[in-house]
Structure 1
Amino acid sequence: MESQRTFLFIGLMLVSFLLFQEWNSDYNAPKVDPSANTQTLKSNSLNSDDYIPSSADGELPTAATSAKRSVIEVTTDVFTVKIDTRGGDIVESDLLQYEEVKGEETPFMLLGEFDGNQYFSQSGLAGLNGPDASTEGRPVYSTEQKSFTLKGDELRVPLTFTDSNGVTFTKTYVFKKGQYDVALEYTVNNVTNSPIQVQLYTQVERTIQEKGSLVDQNYLGAAYGSADEPYEKYSFSDMADKNLSINTTGGYIAFIQHYFVSAWVPAQDQQNTLYSVIKNGTAAIIGTKAEPVNIQAGTQAKISATYYMGPKESDKLEALHPNLDLTVDYGWLFFISQPLFELLKFLYSGEGSFFGLFDISIGGLGNWGLAIIAITIIVKSLMYPLTKAQYTSMAKMRALQPKMAALKEKYGDDRQKFGQATMEMYKKEKVNPMGGCFPILLQMPIFLALFYVFLESTELRHAEFFLWLTDLSAKDPYYVLPILFGASMFITQKLQPMTVTDPMQQKMMTFMPVIFSVFFLWFPSGLVLYWLVSNLISIAQMLYIYRGMEKQGIKVRG
């Protein structure tokens, strides 16, 4: 295969992949009919297939009403949380260890009202006698204080409501030091002379949002896991098409965005219903509904679930649910991306486990930029046999060009005879015309897997490298890396054996470095750093391979 055409093939594959991502993005904001798929709270419909617990009035809280909202403030070492006394919902969560903007002290707001959008977590007890099923609206809880601060390892925030029959509902959030998961515990004290029935629901509501640009290809939308489906995305458009309704043992639901996730994990030893709904044409809901719980007269019952709101860190998510770590979405190449990410973390920290058999602890690099360079060197070194086969095949094909020209002149327009003679020449010279293509195809999954690792890893958010590169998750502010990448791509072109003679193809190849440099201007600098280092290593490997071949008398460049 001609080397320049092979190089063009790589470039077109990359561009095509990104364009396909843009076209196939399943999280576009759908055009929703406000009347379509909209459900409201139904108090006595436990056996109805279309039962979807919703918020108090069937309406989302608005910016106008938020100012009147009575909230309880909770502060831990990892976030500040605001809990609405009406319904006991988490209406705001600021992550204290993550900045909203690099270099500023404002913490990252995960839940809340921002940029005209709303994102919050709801939970309640519906069912025949649940306070959230009342026609009078959702319950207003009371607390002994309006603010709570974590001072030890655990903080319990109890909210209490007593209905008109004297039944007491205590909704308690349990916060723990250093953890982003919050336990939800309901204690129901039935002091009446009759049995009651309640049903726990947990859900996340979010304003339907437009997706990002071509460069920002990170998924924004819902996901769920069930006994049959470990991880399945359920985008805004999916919800607009059809409400989710799955009965499963255990399971979970989540809303995913770049670097962060919020997820409800219900009790895993019982049957749960996973559901979704588009509400009022502007908000998307995904949630879980537990089995009804019967509480006999004069007895108590406890009902629980777990809510996670924080960074997409695989270890912490997997500890809550075996499949929740899949929300760290490495795409279909996850089986390659996951070990590569573990290697990247090991290079950074110097600590890790070897296939889970034993732990390793050595001095790490302590810099994510250096870790990216190191993993690039390792990957390129491991793939060196493929690279050598690729460049060797290219050089041999270049050496056969005079013989190819002679065959073309001999057989003229007789393509059949020309093809037969060409194949005989390849066989005689022991040259595989596809030898330059197969190594590239084998390397592409590795490159794409690393692409997802750098794009999805929370650890790289706001990570510094050196000098002007203070955030590897953001574009290079001075475009130095994209320019250097273009220069390295140009040098790579010049070093490769030139076989293209068509003027149009030559022009395309000439402008490829410029096109890709412009394209990479808005890429995260960590990704561009990886491609730049990869190109520089390729140049070094190419020079080494070609020097060895020239010593053997094989003409590499004309």
Structure 2
Amino acid sequence: MDKNSIWGLVIIGAILIGYTYLTKPSAEEIKAKQTRDSIAKVEQARDLQLENEKLSALKAIEAEKQKDPEHLQETFGVFSSAAAQKEEFITLENKLVKIKVSNKGGRIYSVQLKDYQTHDSLPLILWEGDKNRFGMTFYAQNKAIDTQDLYFTNEEGIENIDASSQQKTLSMKLSAGDDQYLEYVYTLAPDSYMLDFDIKAIGLNNIISRNQSTLTFNWQADLYGKEKGRKNEDMYTALYYKFHEDDVDDLGISGEKEEDLTTQVKWIAFKQQFFTSALIAKNTFKGVKLKSVDMGEHSPILKNFSAEISLPYSGDVKESYPMQFYFGPNHYKTLRKYGKDIQLEKVINLGWGIFGWVNKYLVIEVFNFLEKYMSNYGLIILLLTIFIKLILSPLTYKSYLSSAKMRVLKPQIDEINERIPKDKAMERQQATMALYKKVGVSPMGGCLPMLVQMPILFAMFRFFPSSIELRQKSFLWASDLSSYDSIAQLPWHIPMYGDHISLFCILMAITNLVYTKMNGQMQTSTQMPGMQAMMYLMPVMFLVWFNNYAAGLSYYYFIATLFTVVQTWAIRKWMVDDEKVLAMLEASKKKPVKKSKFQQRLEDAAKQANQRKK
């Protein structure tokens, strides 16, 4: 930039500053503007109040109109007597759950899990309020009926029913005349998260439209966040369903998804990270429409789930639809005890294939065993980690020994590379493999033991964020092992990282960095360009990825990696000596090389082919 350009910019800047100073309003003008703004705000508030008063008046007129007998008769027909009443509630309760039932719609209004609280110490309510839908829709005498708009009656009177000591049954009826009603029957057993729910249509065959072959049951709920880490909780909140005598599927965790299921379905579950509301058919559901809507990170609602279930209607005097609700924790053994045929425990994502098997038959069993004898979950994770690492110790030793063999052979491999030029790559490879075969070393010997350990590594990645046992359990500075730990809160949000600093995540990244460096010192050959830098980049990426993950998971990876570092150091110092390994390999060269049966067959076939050519 030349001198004239610089002076030009300075003059333009001075003009702008001068213009701003000369045109700024005086104190009197500022005061007058503030007065005008105040008057405008008062007028705006007055207009808003008048608008609200008009709206309230219109609502009052509409409410009175809704109570008019002629209007009710025209809208609801034989159900008109159930259209204008006062909403009241009945409570079904045992030691585990408190279920509030409203006479409006006869529906479940809310469910409280008594042994649990939200992260901010409030009662844990699975779903609550008028925004959630729960009811039947059908046509009766050519009128569209939605039971959620009508009032049911409890023949025993509106009262609280305590089912803490014995099984209690609550009957809610929607009357259409003598011996004509729709009935919801709720039965809650003591010490159970399962609620029996039966729908009965009695004497409605002359009221419900004859051409109607199905009745529709609608269930919809807004799921609010209950855990400290919203991002992590959102990842484990999804609408699940199980096909009859088949596997479990879900609608995914993001966006807006819909599914129209024409095959038989056993159950539908509104599942959050640690709690589930599930509707289970005693038989099966044969027509189901599902919808899942992700409400976005700025909404207090995580997701909105809805299920529209078609119930077959044959027009008989008595129709019955037996179902069950499960309202409870996502605890593997708790879900399992309600029936292996239901497979409700599959709402817990323990991983597919071998990863799930490792969790079910190893990790969960050991974890539950340790849980019987101690209540400190940090120590339980520590002992679980040590137990798993000790089981894998032989594989760790074999992996290190294989690396040591490759390392001591490096001078001989370098000699082969110097002797055979680069343009004869195939000849180099053949000579190298011949050396490996002669001394009895496999280049894959160090990889296979590591591959065997991978299922456990991935299984633990699924186990800790899904383990309700860790929920709201503290250890050291972590207040909740099922959510992220934080030693400092940042004044701003960093994309992908978050607005806090997780110490367990930092410790995990440091131990991975140490292990990466230790492995780098044991490399037997030059790596591909950029591979070394990539290996050192991974711990940094872990620092970003795991900052918002469960503290229990970061703590496990930290302990597991630290244990591996100590193991590797101990093996290197006391168990594996490079000179002894080299001497062992040199001794192997003097032994005749054993050929496998497959290799011998290949050589015999080659000889026979040559003889035929001759």
Answer yes or no: same fold by TM over 0.5: yes
Taking a change above 3 Å as real, the CA distance of residues 281 and 484 of structure 1, as seen in their structure-2 partners, is closer
Deviates more, 1:254-263 or 1:546-555: 546-555
Confirm or deny that 1:515 pairs with 2:547.
no
Aligned to 1:325: 345
Q: Counterpart of 1:264?
A: 279
Are residue 448 (structure 1) and residue 458 (structure 2) matched? yes
The one of 69, 89, 106 equivalent to 2:122 is 106
1:358 corresponds to which residue?
none
What is the deviation of 1:222?
A: 1.8
Match of 1:389 among 377, 387, 398: 398
Task: Give yes or no for contact 1:340–1:453 (8 Å, CA) kept in 2.
Answer: no
1:286 and 2:307 are equivalent in the alignment: yes
Q: Which moved more, 1:427-436 or 1:491-500?
A: 491-500
Cα distance change on mapping 1:417 and 1:337 into 2, 3 Å: same
CA contact (8 A) 2:215 2:311 kept: yes
Q: Are 2:106 and 2:148, in contact at CA under 8 Å, matched by a contact in 1?
A: no
Cα distance, 1:416–1:214 mapped onto 2, change above 3 Å: farther
**What is residue 229 of structure 1 aligned with on the other side?**
246
Q: Within 5 A, what are the aligned runs for 1:62-211?
A: 71-101=89-119, 104-112=120-128, 120=132, 122-124=134-136, 134=145, 138-143=149-154, 144-145=157-158, 147-164=160-177, 166-190=179-203, 202-207=217-222
Distance between the aligned counterparts of 2:558 and 2:240, measured in 1? Answer: 34
Q: CA RMSD in A?
A: 3.8
**Structure 1 residues 262 and 377 mapped into 2: Cα distance closer, same or farther (>3 Å)?**
same
> Displacement, 1:449?
1.3
Structure 2 length-normalised TM: 0.66
Shift of 1:241: 5.4
Aligned residues between the structures? 462
AA matched with 1:523:
Y
Residue 20 of structure 2 corresponds to: none
Cα 1:442–1:86 change in 2 (3 A) is same
User: For each residue in 1:124-157, what CA deviation from the matched residue of structure 2 results, as whole angstroms up to 9, or x when unmatched?
Assistant: 4x66769996379753212322544444233333
Equivalent residue number for residue 335 of structure 1: 357
> How much has 1:106 moved relative to structure 2?
0.6
Aligned pair in 2 of structure 1 residues 123, 181: CA closer, same or farther (>3 Å)?
A: farther
Q: Is the 8 A contact 2:127 2:222 kept in 1?
A: no
For 2:205 and 2:538, the matched residues in 1 are separated by: 78
Q: How does 1:28-39 map to 2 (within 5 A)?
A: none
Q: Distance in 2 between matches of 1:226 and 1:442?
A: 33
Task: Note closer, same or farther for the CA distance 1:85–1:214 as it changes in structure 2 (3 Å cut).
Answer: closer
> What is the rounded CA distance, in whole Å, between the counterparts of 1:179 and 1:223 in structure 2?
22
The question of whether the paired residues in 2 share the 8 Å contact of 1:153 and 1:177 is answered with yes
Return 5+ residue gaps in structure 2 as ranges: 1-74, 77-85, 296-303, 488-501, 583-614
Moved more, 307-316 or 191-200: 191-200
- 1:149 and 1:293, CA in 2 relative to 1: closer, same or farther beyond 3 A? farther
Could you tell me which residue of structure 2 aligns to residue 371 of structure 1? 380
How does the TM-score come out when normalised to structure 1? 0.72
**Distance across 2 between alignment mates of 1:77 and 1:406:** 76
Distance 1:213 1:275 in 2: 30
Distance 1:460 1:288, change over 3 A: farther
Aligned to 1:24: none
Kindly report which structure 2 residues correspond to 1:473-552, keeping only aligned pairs within 5 A, or say none: 473-478=482-487, 479-496=502-519, 497-499=522-524, 501=526, 504-546=530-572, 547-550=574-577
Cα deviation 1:328-358 (Å, max 9, x = unaligned) = 22121322221134323433333xxxxxxxx
- The answer on whether the counterparts of 2:484 and 2:550 sit within 8 Å (CA) in structure 1 is yes
Which whole-Å deviations, capped at 9, do the CAs of 1:248-277 have from their partners, x for residues lacking one? 6xx112122211211111123xx5314114
Shift of the 495–279 alpha-carbon distance from structure 1 to 2, 3 Å rule, reads closer
| SS, match of residue 469 in structure 2 | helix
**1:306 maps to amino acid:** Q
**Aligned partners of 2:236 and 2:253 also within 8 Å:** no
| Distance in 1 (alpha carbons) for counterparts of 2:411 and 2:208 | 93
Q: 1:131–1:139: 8 Å Cα contact kept in structure 2?
A: no
Matched AA of 2:167 = E
1:167-216, Cα deviation, whole Å (9 max, x unpaired)? 13332222233322111134555399999999675553245999x98866
For the residues of structure 1 that align with 2:293 and 2:248, how far apart are their CA atoms?
27
- Residues 127 and 292, structure 1, Cα contact 8 Å, conserved in 2: no
CA contact under 8 A between 1:398 and 1:499: conserved in structure 2? yes
Compare CA radii of gyration and give the structure with the larger one.
Answer: 2
Larger RCO, structures 1/2 (Cα 8 Å, 6+ apart): 1
Deviates more, 1:278-287 or 1:223-232: 278-287
* Residue pair 1:246, 1:274 contacting (<8 A) in 2 also: yes
CA distance in 2 between counterparts of 1:301 and 1:515 reads: 59
Instruction: Classify the secondary structure of the residue corresponding to 2:580.
Output: coil
What secondary structure is seen at the aligned counterpart in 2 of 1:463? Answer: coil
Cα distance, 1:448 vs. partner?
0.9
Query: How far has the Cα of 1:97 moved from its partner?
Result: 1.5
2:370 alignment partner in structure 1: 348
Unaligned segments of structure 1, at least 5 residues:
1-55, 58-67, 351-363
Q: Percent identity among equivalent residues?
A: 23
Would you say the 8 A contact 2:485–2:551 is kept in 1? yes
Matched, 1:470 2:479: yes
State the 1:474 CA deviation.
1.3
* Worse-superposed segment, 185-194 or 163-172: 185-194
Q: Which residue of 2 aligns with 1:457?
A: 467
1:553 aligns with 2:586: no
Structure with higher helix content: 2
Q: CA deviation at 1:433?
A: 0.8
Task: Determine which of 273, 277, 284 is the counterpart of 2:286.
Answer: 273
Structure 1 residues 131 and 427, CA gap change in structure 2 (3 angstroms) = farther
**Secondary structure at the residue paired with 1:331?**
coil
Partner of 2:596: none
Distance in 2 of aligned mates of 1:280 and 1:131: 33
In structure 1, what is the equivalent of residue 329 of structure 2?
A: 311
